[in-house]
């Protein structure tokens, strides 16, 4: 049988910085079967405890080992309606793989991706006779909640503010990490469960939440965290300063990298400074690199504290992106257009509330990085539109407050994903959507008695 880990093949860095094609390739059939056969098929599969979506990992891997790929996908779809997405962007190293006892650990996410890319999705037919649910926001939490409710027998209508479904999967994650055809395929599968998606529907503007509440038996809000945070320093209003949210949306959603074929322009700069260290910052940096820019990522802590996935950091470094650690911007320089960023060196002090050591400025250590574009990627918060139109309890940053059942302060309204937690991972949003669906079903069962 052997115990050799099957490595994922990738585009050469010198080639991939000139295209937006997917960097990493799916396993071949031979690779997938070999990797699946390394699984120990533990009596108590700890990997399943580590999966936020609750997938029967042991079972679907056994099907792959037996070359029963359609059955493997069927097992995954029982718990997760977005396998192609999760196989690419889920931080499995922090979840299922972290719990795996095989050495080396089984590449569970790559097996999920293989199955999603190479098997036929069978749409289950369910009679919609339990009630009518409105889901607001078609990102991962909304899609997960909708599909679970549809499979339970509910008539679900999904409201999406943009002209395409997918939320952050469509506007936030670059094509080279998550091709939009994968998102579209999974959205189509979810639509085929009988879910109606209403695009260009801004709840709070196009629709009033109170009206929706009168028409539906329950509402799930999953509008995400699309409101970017800024630094509050001089120069942020100069030309060519972008939030990562805007920069990525222009590229992913409006395909500005294909201008003039697509109509949204984006100025291409010789040198770009990206401020931040999360996955969004790295996505922005790698996108700017593909647009022909030299890129410097400025992060105020050390490499040990950077929150982005290790794989994304590795890919960025391979692509020639420079990292300046232990540095923080003081001001953005320029008269009308960006000309540079003035930064200060930092040292690490005692731990702060996040459990990481607090960055402290080093006196008289200022330095300048010349550039023509700055992308601010220090996080984002909930869009406050819905909360302003109905009196939901919210936290200091505008997040909707929910209890352990995902119930908000208003009866029959539930919420989950980044709108409640702040910016988090796709798989955690899926977990929220699935758990909320279960709670909505429990609530409506009690009402039917």
pLDDT digits (tens, 9 = 90+) for 54-99: 999 999 999 999 999 999 999 999 999 999 999 999 999 999 999 9
Residue whose C-alpha is closest to residue 48's, from 78, 7, 25: 78
pTM over 0.75: yes
Please, are residues 416 and 428 in contact by the beta-carbon 8 Å criterion?
Answer: no
Report the distance separating Cα 4 and Cα 8, nearest Å.
Answer: 13
**What are the tens digits of pLDDT across the range 348-376?**
999 888 788 899 999 999 999 999 999 99
Residue 340 or residue 3, greater confidence? 340
Sign of CA dihedral 227, 229, 232, 234: negative
Q: What is the pLDDT of residue 2?
A: 52
One of 3.40.50.1100, 3.30.565.10, 3.40.50.720, 3.50.50.60 is the CATH number of 230-376, namely 3.50.50.60
Confidence label for 340 from pLDDT (cuts 50, 70 and 90): very high
Of 44 and 421, the one with more pLDDT = 44
Mean pLDDT of the chain: 93
In sequence order, the 6+-apart residues with CB closer than 8 A to the CB of 186 are 81, 82, 83, 84, 85, 143
Q: Is the pLDDT of residue 142 over 70?
A: yes
Q: Distance between CA 257 and CA 83 in Å, rounded?
A: 27
Sign of torsion over alpha carbons 88, 93, 94, 97: positive
What pLDDT sits at residue 123?
84
pLDDT of 295: 98
Domain range 13-118, its CATH number among 1.10.1060.10, 1.10.3720.10, 3.40.50.1370, 3.30.70.1450: 1.10.1060.10
Q: What is the mean pLDDT of residues 373-380?
A: 95
220-266 per-position pLDDT tens digit: 999 998 889 999 999 999 999 999 999 999 888 887 777 777 777 77
Tens digit of pLDDT for each residue in 6-57? 999 999 999 999 999 999 999 999 999 999 999 999 999 999 999 999 999 9
Decide the pairing of beta strands 132-136 and 271-275: unpaired
Q: If pLDDT is split at 50, 70 and 90, which confidence band does 449 have?
A: confident
| Domain map (residue ranges) of the chain | 13-118, 132-226+381-448, 230-376
At 267, the pLDDT band (50, 70, 90 cuts) reads: confident
Q: 192-214 burial, b if ≥16 CB within 10 A, otherwise e?
A: ebbbebbeebbbbeebebeebbe
Q: What is the number of other CB atoms lying within 10 angstroms of the CB of residue 33?
A: 18
pLDDT of the residue at 406 = 96
Write the class of the CATH domain 132-226+381-448: alpha beta
Per-residue pLDDT band for 411 (boundaries 50, 70, 90) equals very high
What's the confidence (pLDDT) of residue 386?
A: 75
Domains 13-118 and 230-376 in one fold? no
DSSP three-state, residue 348 = strand
Mark out the alpha helices in 56-208 (DSSP H runs).
57-65, 69-77, 83-89, 96-99, 108-118, 140-152, 168-171, 180-191
| 3-state SS class at 156 | strand
Per-residue pLDDT, 1:
44
Query: Does the pLDDT of residue 423 top 90, yes or no?
Result: no
Chain length of the chain: 449
Structure tokens at 423: 């910016």
């Amino acid at each position: 049988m052997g115990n050799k880990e099957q490595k994922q093949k990738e585009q050469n860095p010198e080639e991939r910085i000139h295209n937006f094609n997917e960097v990493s390739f799916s396993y071949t059939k031979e690779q997938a079967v070999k990797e699946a056969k390394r699984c120990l098929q533990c009596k108590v599969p700890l990997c399943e405890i580590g999966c936020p979506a609750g997938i029967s990992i042991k079972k679907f891997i056994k099907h792959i080992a037996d070359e029963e790929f359609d059955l493997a996908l069927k097992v995954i779809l029982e718990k997760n309606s977005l396998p192609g997405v999760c196989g690419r962007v889920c931080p499995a190293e922090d979840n299922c793989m972290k719990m795996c006892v095989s050495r080396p650990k089984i590449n569970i996410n790559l097996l999920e991706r293989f199955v999603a890319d190479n098997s036929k999705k069978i749409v289950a037919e369910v009679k919609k006779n339990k009630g009518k649910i409105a889901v607001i926001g078609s990102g991962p939490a909304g899609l997960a909640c909708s599909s679970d409710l549809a499979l339970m027998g509910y008539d679900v209508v999904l409201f999406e503010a943009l002209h395409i479904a997918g939320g952050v999967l469509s506007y936030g994650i670059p094509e080279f990490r998550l091709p939009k055809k994968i998102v579209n395929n999974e959205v189509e599968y979810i639509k085929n469960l009988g879910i109606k998606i209403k695009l260009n529907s801004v709840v709070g503007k196009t629709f009033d939440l109170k009206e929706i509440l009168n028409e539906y038996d329950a509402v799930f809000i999953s509008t995400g965290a699309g409101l970017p945070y800024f630094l509050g320093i001089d120069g942020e209003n100069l030309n060519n300063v972008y939030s990562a949210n805007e920069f990525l949306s222009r590229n992913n959603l409006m395909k500005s990298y294909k201008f003039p074929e697509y109509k949204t322009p984006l100025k291409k700069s010789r040198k770009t400074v990206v401020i931040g260290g999360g996955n969004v910052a790295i996505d922005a940096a790698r996108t700017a690199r593909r647009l022909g820019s030299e890129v410097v990522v400025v992060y105020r802590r050390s490499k040990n504290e950077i929150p982005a996935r290790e794989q994304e950091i590795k890919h960025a470094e391979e692509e020639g992106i420079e990292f300046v650690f232990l540095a923080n911007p003081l001001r953005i320089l320029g008269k009308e257009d960006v000309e540079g960023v003035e930064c200060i060196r930092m040292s690490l002090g005692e731990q702060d509330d996040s459990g990481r050591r607090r960055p402290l400025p080093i006196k008289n250590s200022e330095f300048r990085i010349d550039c023509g574009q700055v992308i601010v990627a220090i996080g984002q918060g909930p869009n406050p539109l819905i909360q302003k139109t109905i009196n939901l309890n919210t936290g200091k940053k505008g997040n909707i407050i929910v209890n352990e059942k995902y119930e908000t302060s208003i009866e029959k309204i539930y919420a989950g994903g980044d709108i409640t937690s702040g910016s988090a991972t796709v798989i955690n949003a899926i977990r929220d959507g699935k758990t909320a669906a279960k709670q909505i079903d429990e609530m409506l069962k009690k009402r039917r008695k």
